[in-house]
Amino acid sequence: MENGITERLLDSNKKDEENLKSRTWDEVKKLWGIGAPSILARVSSFGILVVTQAYMGHIGEIELASFSLVQAINMRFVDGILYGLGSALPTLCGQAFGARQYHMLGIYLQQSWIILLTISIFLVPVFIFTTPILRLLGEAEELSISAGKLSPWFLPVLFYHLLGLSTQMYLQAQLKIMVVGWISAISFVINIILSWLMVDKLNWGVPGAMGAMTLSICFISISDFIYVFGGWCKDSWKGFSKRAFNELWPVVKLSISSGMMLCFEVWTGALLILLVGYMKNAKVEVSAFSICLNIIAWVYMISMGFSGAACVRVANELGKGDALAAKFSIKVNLSISLTIGVIFSILALVFSETISYAFTSSSEVAKEVSSLSILLASVILLNSFQPVLSGVAIGAGWQSLVANVNLLCLYIIGFPLAIFLGYVIHLQVRGVWMGMICGVAAQTLVLAYITWTTDWDAQVDKTAARLNHWILPPS
């Protein structure tokens, strides 16, 4: 009899194990199905900036440093606001899609555009008055003047972040991200061809590199709009509607919380560039540091792909009312992201100096990048799973809570430590990075604790209440 009980237990355990493997494999396919096209889109669109920066680096050191300043300060400032405010859209669209309220996705998209267009009016001067802004911040005169000449070229990127990214979030929430990936990949190829033609063949220098970037970015936005307006989203896009102004205030409040959450994350890079810019030999330090940030950003694009996948999966499952599926998806996603982070951390340790020559011809800058390889690998490892936790927060609608976490960890812990270690202890760039690594580590631990201890059944109830309050009947 005992043998029979043992056999039944073994059979039961075997079935549970097979069921777990099957569920894990299904979840992996879902995550990669969302994450891979999202990674392709992010890597390609960011690759346009990187290709442009690489051309600027080969044109001259001052051109590379000024481009890096505009990208790291102006664009990060604007990016944090627009991308942050737009990040309410994945929460709303993802949960509505999970609840099969497809008509609400188009309304949410229009509400997001109304909010972003209003805010953008106040952001254009950031690109017009770059030189006096950088002077006010204490940057070197030569860098300030050069950056001021470059910054108006970034206005098309503002347009892309204003409307293009929100459109991509709208498509991702309804699992139509593949088309976004292909459009971005095509634009990346276009950028390489145009940069080669305008800079290498026609010798147009800085205008050629920036013009190629502008045309490539515009191609992405126009193509996304054609896909949405052309009838490929007939269930969710019913045309422009006055109903977008109904219940706009709750969306504004969620957008503000999202904006604060992501601004605190995105602006840290700009603040680090500012700190490095005050150091001796600022031209080399800024160039090397910006190259490290770009290497991090390449890997970060992969993590952001899984962040988007986490947001969509959590939002969809909460919209469906399945708390267990949401929890399981988070565990699988974190496992994949951590594995990828370990691999890229090792690669950064081995090839950091070699990679830097893609951005600069200066051996001095390349050696400085190599000396930062351990810190570079540490940031890559932390950034492999921190964005996934942020994606979970967006999918669940925790933006306000996470905004407070980011403020505490990055600005009350990380930033003061960076100033202390960099300037008081005189560790220079390494001290600045070490301080911010401590802040990001604290942020990651707090977000992990919040995610682990959350009552997901209660989150399902909150999602249902939000949907019942905000959803409008189909017109």
Angle at 227 between CA 223 and CA 228, to 5 degrees: 120
Residue 284 CA: distances (Å) to CA of 134, 270, 290: 18, 17, 10
Model confidence pLDDT, tens digit, residues 22-61: 888 888 888 888 888 888 888 888 788 888 888 888 787 7
Model confidence pLDDT, tens digit, residues 141-194: 888 888 888 888 888 878 777 777 788 888 888 888 888 889 989 999 999 999
Model confidence pLDDT, tens digit, residues 215-264: 998 898 889 889 988 888 888 888 888 888 877 777 888 778 777 777 77
Q: Does any domain span residue 395?
A: yes
Residues in the chain: 475
CA distance 355 to 90: 34
Residue 472 has pLDDT above 80, yes or no: no
Residue 393 has pLDDT above 70, yes or no: yes
Q: Does any domain span residue 104?
A: yes
Find where tokens 């503000």 sit: 256
Model confidence pLDDT, tens digit, residues 424-453: 887 777 788 788 888 889 989 999 999 999
Q: Does any domain span residue 24?
A: no
Lowest-confidence pick of 120-129, 272-281, 331-340, 407-416? 272-281
Q: Does any domain span residue 3?
A: no
Model confidence pLDDT, tens digit, residues 63-81: 888 887 888 778 878 877 8
Q: What are phi and psi of 151, to 5 degrees?
A: -60, -35
CA distance 77 to 267: 6
Find, among 87, 105, 82, 86, the residue nearest to 95 by Cα. 105
Q: What is the pLDDT of residue 280?
A: 60
Q: How many domains does the chain have?
A: 1
Element (H, E) at 72: none
Q: What is the pLDDT of residue 308?
A: 87
Q: What is the mean pLDDT of residues 355-378?
A: 75
Q: Is 100 left (phi over 0), alpha (psi -120 to 50) or beta?
A: left
Find, among 65, 57, 60, 55, the residue nearest to 287 by Cα. 65
Q: What is the mean pLDDT of the chain?
A: 82
CA distance 177 to 55: 30
Q: What is the pLDDT of residue 419?
A: 84
Other CB atoms within 10 Å distance of the CB of residue 65: 26
Q: How many helices and strands, by DSSP H and E, does the chain display?
A: 21, 0
- The separation between CA 63 and the C-alpha centre of its own chain, rounded to angstroms, equals 25
Q: What is the pLDDT of residue 189?
A: 94
Q: What is the pLDDT of residue 190?
A: 94
pTM above 0.85, yes or no: no
Q: What is the pLDDT of residue 445?
A: 92
Q: What is the pLDDT of residue 276?
A: 65
Find, among 37, 45, 1, the residue nearest to 308 by Cα. 37
Residue 101 has pLDDT above 80, yes or no: yes
Q: Does any domain span residue 17?
A: no
Identify the domain containing residue 131 by its residue range.
Answer: 29-470
Q: Does any domain span residue 340?
A: yes
CB 143 within 8 Å of CB 273: no
Residue 1 has pLDDT above 70, yes or no: no
CB 317 within 8 Å of CB 334: no
Is 136 exposed, middle or buried, given 0-12, 13-18 or 19+ CB atoms closer than 10 A? exposed
Q: What is the mean pLDDT of residues 329-345?
A: 90
Q: Does any domain span residue 215?
A: yes
Q: What is the pLDDT of residue 16?
A: 59
Q: What is the pLDDT of residue 81?
A: 82
Q: Does any domain span residue 19?
A: no
Find, among 160, 158, 165, 136, the residue nearest to 148 by Cα. 136
Q: What is the mean pLDDT of residues 91-113?
A: 87
Amino acid at position 169, single letter: M
Q: What is the pLDDT of residue 446?
A: 92
